[in-house]
Structures are given as structure tokens and as C-alpha cells.
């Protein structure tokens, strides 16, 4: 049963009601008493359901569940909201760039893929996509170098600002090319079993619009936009 995030909050309340009914029916507690009358029992119940949510969520999405602060304490907290934000960002990164191998392992364990004498994990990225990824790493390395070892020992010196600006320009150009041609190609797809929604996802990704970013990068994006090429 999918039981994490909001679903877990609701089901933890249903579990509390069910436990109260069982305890009353067994005459363990009085009809006027509830789980909340026993702080240690309520805390144990909350922690069991919060830990269940985290465990299921780690297998399902690679991070802990959201809103577990409410499940554990009965109220939302600032730290819980920050933790949810971090988990949401981590889920996005994992889901787009690291989830293919997880799905491959599930398909292999469940028998959805039959082992063959082939190379299913051969590199599927085009040479241009691999070059773009390598360029991104180089840009990030050079920007980090400029931060930790600024030219002339000054972050805001003319030479250091020009150096950072040049590499930021290269990074923006790479971003434009990726947005125009390789958005869906760089997603970490499963390789053992063909994903039935992959063509539709690629078509959808190609039509995504980011108004502010697209308006700002429109001249550059037009210069690198492919001429009628589409990925299958």
C-alpha cells in the first residue's frame, strides 16, 4: 500500500481510531479514554507510522517521507517544512537523473526482464549530449575554482569577474542547447524494459515553456534550435 506523505498522515489517524476501538472493545481502556490519554502510547503510535512512511518512501522515491513532523508531533514545524523542501528537491534530482537503475533492478528482480546475451546497458546518449554534460562539469569546476582561488586574490576584481562571467556565459549557452534539443534525452530512463510513456514524455518535455527564462534566453535559444529533428 502506498503510504507516505499525505496518505500517511490520513492513515495514521485511521490507525489511531482503529486502535482506540480495539482497546475499548477489549476493555483495556475505558470508553471515555482515548490513545491521547496515554502520551507514551500515542508517541509510540506516531513514531511507528512516521517510520513506516520514511521506510516506504525511501524504497519508493529515495528520500524520507514528507510531513512526518505532523505525524510525529501533531503539528507542522519550520524545520519540518525545510526538511520537506530538501526532500522534494532531492526527489526531483533522483527521479530525473538517478532513477533508471532503480527501475532496472526492480524489473530484474520481478522477472519483467529476461536476461539475454546482449548489452542492455550500452551508452545511449548521443555524442553531443555527452559533450554537453562534460562541458557543464568543466564550467562548474572553473566557477568553483574562481570562488576558492580568485584571481589577484579578489572576488570582485575585474579579472576575476570577467573570468566568472565568461564561464557563466558558456554555462548559459549549454543550458540553451540542452533546453532546445536534449531535455528528455538526459533523463535517466530504465534500459532493461522499454518505458511505455517514454515517447509521450519526450514530446511533453520538448513543449515545456518557462516564460521568464525563455524570454530572457530567446535570442540564444533560436540560434541553436534544431531544424525539424525529433527524438523517437
CA distance 132 to 137: 9
Q: Name the phi and psi angles at 111, rounded to 5.
A: 80, 15
Give the pLDDT of residue 21.
93
Give the pLDDT of residue 131.
87
Give the pLDDT of residue 166.
93
Give the pLDDT of residue 17.
92
Q: pLDDT by residue (tens digit) across 171-207?
A: 999 988 888 877 777 778 787 877 665 655 454 445 5
CA distances from 130 to 41, 126, 136, 174 (A): 55, 6, 10, 12
Q: Name the phi and psi angles at 229, rounded to 5.
A: -85, 135
Strand, coil or helix: 80: helix
Q: pLDDT by residue (tens digit) across 207-232?
A: 555 555 555 545 544 544 444 444 44
Give the pLDDT of residue 232.
40
Longest dimension (CA), the chain: 79
CA distance 165 to 148: 16
Q: Is 80 exceeded by the pLDDT of residue 117?
A: no
Give the pLDDT of residue 144.
93
Average pLDDT, the chain: 80
For the ranges 64-68, 115-119, 148-152, the lowest mean pLDDT is seen at 115-119
Q: Name the phi and psi angles at 64, rounded to 5.
A: -65, 165
Q: What is the DSSP string of 84-105?
A: HHHHHHHHHHHHHHT-HHHHHH
Give the pLDDT of residue 170.
93
| Distance from chain centroid for Cα 102 | 13
Q: pLDDT by residue (tens digit) across 45-71?
A: 999 988 988 888 888 788 888 888 888
Helix axes 158-177, 211-224, angle to 10 degrees: 80
Beta-carbon-side half-sphere exposure of residue 43 (alpha carbons within 13 Å): 3
CA distance 112 to 153: 58
Average pLDDT over residues 82-109: 87
CA distance 158 to 163: 8
CA distances from 42 to 15, 32, 38, 76 (A): 11, 16, 6, 17
CA distance 231 to 128: 14
Amino acid at each position: 500500500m502506498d503510504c507516505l506523505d499525505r496518505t500517511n498522515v490520513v492513515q495514521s489517524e485511521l490507525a489511531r481510531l482503529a486502535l482506540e476501538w480495539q482497546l475499548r472493545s477489549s476493555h483495556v481502556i475505558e470508553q471515555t479514554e482515548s490513545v491521547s490519554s496515554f502520551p507514551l502510547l500515542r508517541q509510540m503510535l506516531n513514531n511507528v507510522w512516521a517510520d513506516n512512511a520514511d521506510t516506504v518512501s525511501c524504497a519508493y522515491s529515495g528520500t524520507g517521507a514528507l510531513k512526518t513532523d505532523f505525524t510525529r508531533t501533531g503539528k507542522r514545524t519550520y524545520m519540518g517544512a525545510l526538511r520537506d523542501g530538501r526532500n522534494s528537491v532531492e526527489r526531483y534530482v533522483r527521479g530525473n537523473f538517478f532513477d533508471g537503475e532503480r527501475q532496472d533492478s526492480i524489473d530484474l528482480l520481478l522477472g519483467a526482464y529476461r536476461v539475454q546475451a546482449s548489452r542492455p546497458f550500452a551508452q545511449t546518449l548521443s555524442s553531443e549530449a555527452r559533450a554537453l554534460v562534460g562541458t557543464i562539469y568543466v564550467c562548474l569546476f572553473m566557477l568553483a575554482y574562481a570562488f576558492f582561488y580568485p584571481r589577484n586574490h579578489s572576488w570582485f576584481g575585474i579579472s576575476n569577474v570577467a573570468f566568472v562571467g565568461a564561464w557563466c556565459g558558456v554555462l548559459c549557452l549549454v543550458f540553451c542547447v540542452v533546453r532546445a534539443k536534449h531535455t528528455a534525452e538526459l533523463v535517466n530512463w530504465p534500459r532493461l524494459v522499454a518505458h511505455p510513456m517514454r515517447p509521450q514524455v519526450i514530446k511533453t518535455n520538448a513543449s515545456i515553456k518557462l516564460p521568464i527564462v525563455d524570454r530572457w534566453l530567446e535570442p540564444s535559444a533560436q540560434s541553436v534550435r534544431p531544424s525539424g529533428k525529433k527524438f523517437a
